[in-house]
């Protein structure tokens, strides 16, 4: 009987407070200077791509964003498709340093999120982002110019993980 009540209480808790909502609630009050976020991320340029990697030995795309944000105490996920639940959507025209940019996997027709990057340009500048790429041509952590890349066809959206990032400039 005790186990049943414990499972019931836990189930109700998860129903009202799913993991992604808890992460988003935790992140609302984290103060992060976007330039510090970018400078930290840039330290890993050239780090090789590693499927499921989330350490400086090698990163996949979501593992890289996960690692950078966690360094600053912002809880994220290591699954690219979970990122939309962690923040607020913003338009591509209003995205800024520190936002997470979302893309499809390799096939643009498949509109499921399968790739993420970290916006490093400031509001009003040409959009650039840092990512861990599995491409043979640009493998590992690289900076990408959105307008000169194939990612325009794969674009899904942009999210802002914390309200602090848009306040501290």
- Model confidence pLDDT, tens digit, residues 18-36: 444 444 444 444 578 899 9
Tell me the two tokens of residue 48. 């090789």
Q: What does the alpha-carbon distance between residue 68 and residue 9 come to, in Å, rounded to a whole number? A: 34
Q: What CATH number has the domain bearing residue 87?
A: 3.90.1720.10
- Token digits of residue 154: 């794969």
Which residues constitute the domain of residue 129? 2-167
Q: How many domains does the chain have?
A: 1
110 pLDDT tier (thresholds 50, 70, 90): confident
Give CA–CA dist 61/114, Å, rounded. Answer: 9
Of 101, 110, 112, 82, whose CA–CA distance to 151 is shortest?
Answer: 101
Model's pTM, two decimal places? 0.78
How remote is the C-alpha of 3 from its chain's centroid?
Answer: 37
């Amino acid at each position: 009987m005790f186990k049943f009540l414990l499972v019931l209480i836990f189930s109700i808790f998860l129903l009202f407070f799913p993991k992604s909502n808890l992460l988003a609630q935790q992140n609302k009050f984290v103060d992060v200077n976007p330039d510090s976020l970018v400078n930290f991320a840039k330290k890993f340029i050239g780090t090789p791509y590693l499927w499921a990697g989330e350490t400086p030995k090698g990163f996949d795309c979501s593992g890289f964003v996960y690692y950078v944000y966690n360094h600053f105490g912002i809880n994220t996920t290591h699954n690219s498709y979970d990122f939309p639940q962690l923040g607020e959507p913003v338009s591509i025209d209003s995205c800024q340093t520190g936002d997470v940019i979302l893309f499809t996997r390799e096939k643009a027709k498949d509109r499921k999120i399968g790739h993420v990057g970290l916006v490093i340009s400031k509001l009003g500048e040409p959009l650039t982002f840092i990512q861990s790429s599995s491409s043979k041509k640009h493998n590992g952590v690289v900076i990408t110019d959105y307008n000169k890349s194939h990612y325009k066809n794969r674009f899904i959206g942009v999210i802002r993980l914390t309200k602090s990032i848009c306040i501290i400039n």
